[in-house]
Structure 1
Amino acid sequence: MTTATQRTPNPFTQDDYAARMSRVVDEAVGAGLTGVIVAPGPDLVWLTGYQPTAITERLTMLVLTADREPTLVVPTLERPDAESAEGAGALTMIDWADGSDPYPLAGSLLRADGRFGISDSAWAMHLLGLQQARPATSYHALSQGMPMMRAVKDADELARLAMAGEAADSTYLEIIHVRFAGRRETEVAADLARLLREFGHEQVDFTVVGSGPNGANPHHEAGERVIQPGDSVVLDFGGLMHGYGSDTTRTVCVGEPSAEVQKVHDIVRAAQQAAFEAVQPGVPCQEIDRTARAVITDAGYGDQFIHRTGHGIGVTTHEPPYMVEGEEQPLEPGMCFSIEPGIYLAGRFGVRIEDIVTVTENAGRRFNNTDHHLRVVE
């Protein structure tokens, strides 16, 4: 078995979480917001290290404003868990007991006429409760008001993403040696999940195995189709390792590929490489999409490239920034995202190649480094 280098990343410290919260407050003020309200989900994990063991109807809410210390409102029964989070020392905590109304308490932390960004993951019932407690406040989705909040990674975050990418690469280098022909897609998907865990992932988020005509569906769920000799097979897999995501795609062929499969694969490979070479600070996100799409369109397959070229990645496997037409956000050093062009011929086959890339001071750096050429498997 190929062995990924087993390393333990530097732990995030209380100071790291405090710095993140301070930066978010500064960015919120710069965006014209009074502050930010963070519900359970990836934003809360990134800012505090706290993830409730179960996200329930009970209100949990982090309030970040310039006029008070970061304050976490939690149910009384969950306070011990919150206090054990890595970033808890940088927080003031207020708890509320079952049977009481938490919204007047939470509302007291908000300026009466404030304009607040709020996590996309916030429950509607909690937002409505806050509006009732503070009728003059207004709320705006963080994905619109502060979409780049988690986009630029620091050195420790980059190290985690690199480890996750290396583990995904090791998974690919193992999966190409298993038998494909005569096995169901679900069996190969189970092998992918097992290998991701063996190479250090604590969470497997997806294992796409799209064989033959199923490969023309970009998000095909592995099914009971038996993989046949001559099939091209799209393998897209990833999850979380040390709390940060992996996501990679390679397309393999069971036995020697047809001339058409080889041709389409070569086009996608050229598009992926061109998009990677376009990565540098200051380039608008949409330019990465345009570059990949131009290669595929010039080859006559523009209508068969049916999704954006990439998405950001961090504490979730999909987050801003997005490599898509209309996204004018310029790339910055430390941003991390996928480059994953594809061609999908309905009812026949599909091809996709995906790497996670980060922006350096003058170019791009791949976190996935396995061969892009069409691999023949048994």
Structure 2
Amino acid sequence: MPTRRRFLRSAAALPAVLAMPVVGETAPTASALPPPIAALKDRSREAAPISTAERQARADRARALMAEKKIGALCITGGASLSYFTGIHAGQSERLFAWILPSSAAPYIVCPAFEEARMTEQLAQIPDGARTKIYTWNEDEDPHKLLVQHLPAGSLAIDERVQFVFAQRIAEADPTRRIVSGIPITAGCRAIKSPAELALMQLANDITLSVYRAAWQSAGPGITNRGFTDLIDRGYARCGVEGEASCQVGEWSALPHGSLKPQVIREGEIVLIDDGCVVEGYQSDISRSFVYGKPTDKQQRVFETVHRAQAAALAAARPGAPCQTIDIAARKVVTDAGFGPGYKFFSHRLGHGIGMDMHEWPYLVGGNMQPLEVGMCFSDEPGIYIPGEFGIRLEDDWHMTPDGGKLFTPQSPGLEHPFG
């Protein structure tokens, strides 16, 4: 799925200036890489895929939620929710492909006729695969009428990633049917991670931190921000996963999502790196801020404030506490240190849910009264951004346990040694 960082990087795809042989169009051999990158190992074999039995339990949970809310069926097209429930990886195009989960009947698939054989191959891995029917349509037929023709009685919940054109035409195909949001069903399932999901997220976070460390050790003043992210790209390739990164330097680190401008890392300037990798569909999202050389007193003060805010947010995490509690705790630290009020310098929410999407429900933001539950996963990413000077953000992912929040990765110890 396209991300803001991938957009920034593709739009700024300019030649990198490196002080070491790491730039090139073809993948180099390990001997051509900086030693810290070359030392990284393939960790993809450590990932245990989600089982069909677990996907069946997810479908059962979705049905229970639909029964509570008196919803007749759930409609999902391409995207993370489709993969979450079925293991099917399908993008969205102008042709309707949909998986329908009725609250009390077998699921069914609506797809183009030329996709039937490919879908049939995958029935063994999806919940109720043996009972799942496939209804096909040819290019001169209306798939939306076909979809509603087989719906049970009751309202139809639409996943949030279903394109508007599909949702509109489904509604037009059956004007008497009530269409509702599928978020309470999909987020109600996806927000609570199982032990298998937590293990995949732990691996993704471990890999990201190791790649960041290797890139930091391999770089230094004089390298471009694109050169730094190229090091991260090659580190992920060594680890056998897909990932990406953003790198912003000096005044551009004061923009939370960065700039398109080419940048060069200089001694004493803040470097802010951000993003993560994907392991069996599960994401990491980590930010580190650091300097090569000695930080200024102001840089050090801002770092220490952000570090305390991150710790305060985690300490506020308790099962049953409203999501906004975490944001409030971090924002108080920032404001008390003189970087307030409100969103003046800490210009974004404290965090977001994370799992199969890097940003997913629920969100740690003021006004969100949804209670925290054991198994929820979030980012913890306070930041202070001083326009025209620099910005510092520290981000680690964490999950809710019965005893409080638990980080997947340790907090950064300092600007000079961000990885200990």
Question: What TM-score results when the alignment is normalised by the length of structure 2?
Answer: 0.84
Measure the CA separation in 1 of the matches of 2:206 and 2:240: 10
CA deviation profile, 1:337-375 (whole Å, cap 9, x unmatched): 100000000011000001100111211221122633223
Tell me what 1:200 maps to: 240
Tell me what 1:15 maps to: 53
Measure the CA separation in 2 of the matches of 1:81 and 1:244: 24
* Structure 1 pair 201–375 and aligned structure 2 pair: CA distance change class (3 A): farther
Task: Report the count of equivalent residues.
Answer: 373
* Structure 1 pair 67–28 and aligned structure 2 pair: CA distance change class (3 A): closer
Tell me what 1:225 maps to: 263
Measure the CA separation in 1 of the matches of 2:41 and 2:207: 6
Name which of 169, 174, 177 aligns with 1:129: 169
Q: CA deviation at 1:3?
A: 4.2
Tell me what 2:395 maps to: 354
Q: Which deviates more, 54-63 or 241-250?
A: 54-63
Give 1:94's aligned amino acid: Y
CA deviation profile, 1:99-123 (whole Å, cap 9, x unmatched): 22212210112246x3222112212
* Structure 1 pair 322–270 and aligned structure 2 pair: CA distance change class (3 A): same
Give 1:362's aligned amino acid: D
* 1:59–1:75 Cα contact (<8 Å) kept: yes
* Structure 1 pair 254–312 and aligned structure 2 pair: CA distance change class (3 A): same
Measure the CA separation in 2 of the matches of 1:189 and 1:223: 14
Measure the CA separation in 2 of the matches of 1:111 and 1:70: 11
Tell me what 1:118 maps to: 158
Name which of 270, 289, 306 aligns with 2:308: 270
Give 1:353's aligned amino acid: L
Write out aligned runs for 1:229-378 (5 A).
229-302=267-340, 303-369=344-410, 371-375=412-416
Identity of aligned residues (%): 32
Tell me what 1:186 maps to: 226
Q: CA deviation at 1:93?
A: 2.3
Name which of 105, 110, 117 aligns with 1:68: 105
* 1:312–1:337 Cα contact (<8 Å) kept: yes
Tell me what 1:79 maps to: 116
Q: CA deviation at 1:145?
A: 6.7
Measure the CA separation in 2 of the matches of 1:345 and 1:338: 22
Give 2:192's aligned amino acid: V
Give 2:157's aligned amino acid: G
Q: Which deviates more, 330-339 or 21-30?
A: 21-30
* Structure 1 pair 327–84 and aligned structure 2 pair: CA distance change class (3 A): farther
Give 1:87's aligned amino acid: I
Give 2:182's aligned amino acid: L
* Structure 1 pair 279–21 and aligned structure 2 pair: CA distance change class (3 A): same
Q: Which runs of 5+ in 1 are unaligned?
A: none
Tell me what 1:213 maps to: 251
Q: CA deviation at 1:216?
A: 0.5
Tell me what 2:205 maps to: 165
Give 1:66's aligned amino acid: S
CA deviation profile, 1:113-170 (whole Å, cap 9, x unmatched): x322211221222222211221111222333676433100111111100100100110
* Structure 1 pair 83–375 and aligned structure 2 pair: CA distance change class (3 A): farther
What secondary structure sits across from 1:304 in the alignment? coil
Tell me what 2:6 maps to: none
Name which of 85, 95, 98 aligns with 2:139: 98
* 1:111–1:137 Cα contact (<8 Å) kept: no
Question: What TM-score results when the alignment is normalised by the length of structure 1?
Answer: 0.93
Q: Which deviates more, 229-238 or 11-20?
A: 11-20
Give 2:103's aligned amino acid: A
* 1:169–1:370 Cα contact (<8 Å) kept: no
Give 2:54's aligned amino acid: D
**Does residue 62 of structure 2 align to residue 24 of structure 1?**
yes
* 1:200–1:241 Cα contact (<8 Å) kept: no
Q: CA deviation at 1:207?
A: 1.3
Q: Which deviates more, 294-303 or 338-347?
A: 294-303
What secondary structure sits across from 1:321 in the alignment? strand
* 1:286–1:327 Cα contact (<8 Å) kept: yes
What secondary structure sits across from 2:217 in the alignment? coil
Measure the CA separation in 2 of the matches of 1:284 and 1:330: 4
Query: What is the root-mean-square deviation in Å for CA atoms of aligned residues?
Result: 2.0
Measure the CA separation in 2 of the matches of 1:292 and 1:32: 38
* 2:351–2:378 Cα contact (<8 Å) kept: yes
Measure the CA separation in 2 of the matches of 1:253 and 1:365: 27
Measure the CA separation in 2 of the matches of 1:130 and 1:97: 17
CA deviation profile, 1:172-198 (whole Å, cap 9, x unmatched): 221221223112211111212221232
Q: Which runs of 5+ in 2 are unaligned?
A: 1-35
Moved over 6 A (4+): none
Tell me what 2:10 maps to: none
